[in-house]
Structure 1
Amino acid sequence: MNATITRAAVTAIAGLAIIGDAFLLFVKPHQMQGQSAASGATLGASVSPDDSVGSSPDTNSGSVGSNNSNNSGTATSTLADGTYTSVASPNEYGEVQLQVTVKGGKITAINAVSYPNHTDRSQAISAQAIPELADRAISAQSSDIQFVSGATETSTAFANSLQDAINQALNQR
């Protein structure tokens, strides 16, 4: 009897945690975007000096950045300056975890802390997709980016991981 109650309690708590995560990942950012649109504020793109992905066979770390100078103006932002490390977002081939740097209220760099790289194929896909996704995200100043063809799982995990870091920056304001 006690084991059944314990399992039910754990299941209920896990369900609430999933609902809370979903709210932070999907609902709150859209509410914040709506508030920004209502006040006339938008997030502009910015520049990062780093443009590489690197990995050694025994680590999952790599550096990703963008040299995109598509600045959309002098609009204000709701992101707090700092460096934010996202939760690891799993996919079928591994997980994507990002470190996002915000300066001047804008995303200026995205570094891959971990990404799928345990096979030659996943290394090749990550080496192509992660820098492209980072470039698109810095340009868009959002996790709402076009996915890389042939890297749908990695793209989805990247967008989810990026949204978590953005949520952290939003919650610091």
Structure 2
Amino acid sequence: MAISIDGYLLFFKKSSAENIATDSSVNSQSNSNASESSSTSSSSSSSSVDSGYQNGTYTGKSASMRWGNVQVKVTISNGEITKVQTIKYPTDNPHDQQVNSSVLPTYEDEAVKNDSSKIQSVSGATETWKGFTKSLQNALNKAES
């Protein structure tokens, strides 16, 4: 019995220590990758600002998602996104109405702030996010110079 406990402690405790070391290494790597991603996205943001968009108002294609269609209109001024409006979105039931009325203003604001369709999704509104970003990217493709 004592031998089996010693064997357990020898092999499994060592593995646990290695797992902890591996986890720290992975976390350290993730943090490093996150830093690289931040600088990469900063670079791509500034290059898209440098190239800019053509001024005007552009409507993206309606994007069909699981709960309905989402369509976005974007206004470009001085080569940057100045306004994003969601002109079509699911309203078939009270849940859709509640979710969309709370997340769409967030998505619109983030798109203007980021000058891009690369925005974070809100938990519980992933399908709307997919449609929003797809339609927005379509509109931005039309606006590219």
Residue number in structure 2 paired with 1:123: 97
| Cα shift at 1:77 | 3.9
Residue number in structure 1 paired with 2:47: 41
| Cα shift at 1:118 | 1.2
Contact 1:79/1:166 (8 A) holds in 2? yes
DSSP-derived class of the 2:84 partner: strand
Letter matched to residue 82 of structure 1: G
Which 4+ residue blocks in structure 1 deviate beyond 4 angstroms? none
Aligned residues: 103
1:95 aligns with 2:69: yes
Contact 1:81/1:104 (8 A) holds in 2? yes
1:85 aligns with 2:56: no
| Cα shift at 1:42 | 4.4
1:133 aligns with 2:86: no
Residue number in structure 2 paired with 1:63: none
Contact 1:81/1:169 (8 A) holds in 2? yes
Q: Distance in 2 between matches of 1:42 and 1:162?
A: 15
More helix by share: 2
Percent identity over the alignment? 36
Unaligned runs of 5+ in 2: 1-39
Residue number in structure 2 paired with 1:7: none
Q: Based on CA coordinates, which of the two structures has the bigger radius of gyration? A: 2
DSSP-derived class of the 2:47 partner: coil
DSSP-derived class of the 1:41 partner: helix
TM-score, normalised with respect to structure 2: 0.66
Task: After TM superposition, list the pairs within 5 Å mapping 1:92-171 onto structure 2.
Answer: 92-170=66-144
DSSP-derived class of the 1:145 partner: coil
TM-score, normalised with respect to structure 1: 0.56
Q: Distance in 1 between matches of 2:48 and 2:74?
A: 19
Contact 1:77/1:106 (8 A) holds in 2? no
Q: Distance in 1 between matches of 2:123 and 2:51?
A: 30
Q: CA RMSD in A?
A: 1.8
